[in-house]
Structure 1
Amino acid sequence: MAYVTGTALLAAFVVGCSADTGTGGSAADSKSGEETIAAAAPGKYRTLPAPCRAVEQSTLKDLLPGAAELTEDQQRKVYEGTAAVTYDTDRRVGCRWKSEGASSSHSLFIDFERVVSYDLSVSDDDRAREVYTKKETAAGLSSPSATPDATENTENAEDSTENNANKEDKGEKKTPPADSEKTSGETSDSTSGNASDSTSHSLTGPTSDDKSAEPENTDDGADTSDESLQPRILDDLGDSAFLDDLLTRAGSTAQHRTVKVVFRTSNVIVTVEYTEQPAVSTVVPDSKELQEKAQALARKLVDEFSE
């Protein structure tokens, strides 16, 4: 009888342990499920195109007119381009072309950057949007009103103005905002920044202070007073895009103009830089022509990504 009782007791113990193990496993699974974070959607593009093959030869002939003066072998080398040195071709690639002509030299550079987010809660597209926005801001094209700090400062300024108006009606003394010194400093910095941009991104060539460098003949066919040629946001290119126009001159050497078009399509950011440097220092590169050609190439690249 004692043996039977012991056997029954042992069986009951084994059943109890099995039941506890099952309950424990369920709890662990439940806890594990609670800690799981759904990964954000991956970007549309997993690879990048070969940059030196991304531009058709017919387009290169138009962008690099000086190549037509070269021998056939020299032309082939020009159109082949030179690949940019990168450490991860899955993430970033580029190519550069250059041609020297009797009247001017031209260079073209394209850069493809595939943005990948390493934060599970941030999608590749959102991360690419952040990277693009930094480039746009660096070009001085982002609107300050779009930032929370600027909105808060504007609201504070409006409240201060309204309070001063009420005090004036009551004959009370006006008081400046608490952060008036900071506001003054920010205004000064902003003004100097704008002045710097208007010089470095100028479309009118040399400034009035640089009389010695002023060209004697600037008959380049471009209406530099046209505001439509100023650096700007582009609304019809990819998911978002901007154009920058930079005229550079160094002393008495020939000046050169670089038009940059940057656009984002999903998680890829594309940069197109097109530069012209006339052989004669008194000639100003035509901004309108360079911008039209750079934008035309950018649109072709957008179409290639859309295919």
Structure 2
Amino acid sequence: MQRKAYATGTAALLAALLAGCTSGSGDAGQADNANPGDTGRTAVAAEPGKYRTLPEPCGAVGHDALDTLLPGIQRITDPVQRDRAYEGDAELTFDTDRKVGCRWKVESADVTDRLSVDFERVVSYDNAVSDDDQAQRLFQEKQAAADLPASSGDTAPPATPTPTASAKGSPSGDASPSAKAPSGNSPSSSATSGSASATPSGSTDASADASADVSADASAELQPRTLSDLGDEAYLDDQLSTSGPTAEQRTVTVVFRTSNVVVTLQYEEQPTATGTVPDSKEMQDRARDLAARLDDALGG
């Protein structure tokens, strides 16, 4: 009987030990799975931007472009001063791989012209946001601050040059080409050399309406707007301001983004003559031409 009791006690002890081992192995498994998301896989970083460096800003604008935007530069007689004007003044920067800029200013007897070009390479420090997306955010902030007119957008250029009546007024006695065309084809031209009374009374009103339509179309084409033919996205702003009792200054700004680089070009002109208004179309054409050159130089 004693041997049977001993065997029974030994079996109970072995069962207890086995239960303890089973319980311990279950706890270990639970501890190993305490961080199920930590599987050793590394999150994939967002796509880096196309550009790693920036161009030298003062060398990015050639002499021919400066001759066009700053016509007074060719009137500088001193060759040393003229070369200095071409060189421009580099903006102070602490990281030439992230942000650079250059400024030019040329004064002449009749006008003062200023030009600035800034390049900013955007880098995202968020692995979930690409450099391009971060640059797009910066561009959109600039565009929102410009407060462009609603539904503004680039329009195709007209087939023939249109006079910019809103930018630079013409003498009251000169009519635009489109206003002159109807009168030349009016019935009075085939009649005898009569007086103005032979002209139908409605033709004067028609000419005035045609001239007004041309002026309105030209004004609409020159308003601040987005641009569809520059970089990944772009816009143009045009502001006319009075900085003194008589002189008016026009500032044309073109901003465009190519991948993770945002370029800002600002072109200013301030005449010295009283009542002279800088030509909007001429300044916009010059600024857009330079912006296209800069985009090409970036390889956009």
TM-score by length of 1: 0.64
Match of 2:98 in 1: 91
**Could you say what the CA RMSD is over the residues aligned between the two structures, in angstroms?**
3.1
- 1:294 partnered with 2:287: yes
| Deviation for aligned residue 1:86 | 2.0
Q: Identify if the C-alpha distance between structure 1 residues 28 and 224 changes in structure 2 by more than 3 Å, giving closer, same or farther.
A: farther
Of residues 68-77 and 43-52 in structure 1, the stretch that sits farther from structure 2 once superposed is: 68-77
Structural mapping, 1:269-284, within 5 Å: 269-284=262-277
Cα distance in 2 for partners of 1:28, 1:81 equals 63
Match of 1:77 in 2: 84
| Deviation for aligned residue 1:274 | 0.7
Match of 2:12 in 1: none
Structural mapping, 1:171-250, within 5 Å: 218-219=169-170, 225=216, 226=218, 227-250=220-243
| 8 Å CA contact retained: 2:243, 2:249 | no
- 1:130 partnered with 2:137: yes
SS at match of 2:73: helix
- 1:55 partnered with 2:48: no
Cα distance in 2 for partners of 1:239, 1:277 equals 31
SS at match of 1:271: strand
SS at match of 1:86: coil
Match of 1:170 in 2: none
Q: Identify if the C-alpha distance between structure 1 residues 304 and 28 changes in structure 2 by more than 3 Å, giving closer, same or farther.
A: farther
| 8 Å CA contact retained: 1:104, 1:279 | yes
Q: Identify if the C-alpha distance between structure 1 residues 275 and 29 changes in structure 2 by more than 3 Å, giving closer, same or farther.
A: same
SS at match of 2:136: helix
Q: Identify if the C-alpha distance between structure 1 residues 66 and 229 changes in structure 2 by more than 3 Å, giving closer, same or farther.
A: same
- 1:303 partnered with 2:296: yes
**Structure 2: stretches of 5+ with no match in the other structure:** 1-28, 152-164, 177-213
Summarize deviations over 1:160-191 as a string: whole Å, max 9, x none: xxxxxxxxxxxxxxxxxxxxxxxxxxxxxxxx
The one-letter code of the counterpart of 1:282 is G
| 8 Å CA contact retained: 1:219, 1:283 | no
Q: Identify if the C-alpha distance between structure 1 residues 117 and 253 changes in structure 2 by more than 3 Å, giving closer, same or farther.
A: same
| 8 Å CA contact retained: 1:51, 1:93 | yes
| Deviation for aligned residue 1:31 | 5.3
| Deviation for aligned residue 1:304 | 0.5
The one-letter code of the counterpart of 1:79 is Y
| Deviation for aligned residue 1:105 | 1.2
Match of 1:256 in 2: 249
Cα distance in 1 for partners of 2:125, 2:149 equals 26
Bigger share in helix:
1
| Deviation for aligned residue 1:275 | 0.8
- 1:285 partnered with 2:292: no
| 8 Å CA contact retained: 1:65, 1:101 | no
**Structure 1: stretches of 5+ with no match in the other structure:** 1-22, 145-202, 206-216
Q: Identify if the C-alpha distance between structure 1 residues 88 and 143 changes in structure 2 by more than 3 Å, giving closer, same or farther.
A: farther
The one-letter code of the counterpart of 1:69 is R
- Of the three residues 22, 41, 63, the one matched with 2:47 is 41
Q: Identify if the C-alpha distance between structure 1 residues 251 and 276 changes in structure 2 by more than 3 Å, giving closer, same or farther.
A: closer
Of residues 110-119 and 59-68 in structure 1, the stretch that sits farther from structure 2 once superposed is: 59-68
| Deviation for aligned residue 1:252 | 0.9
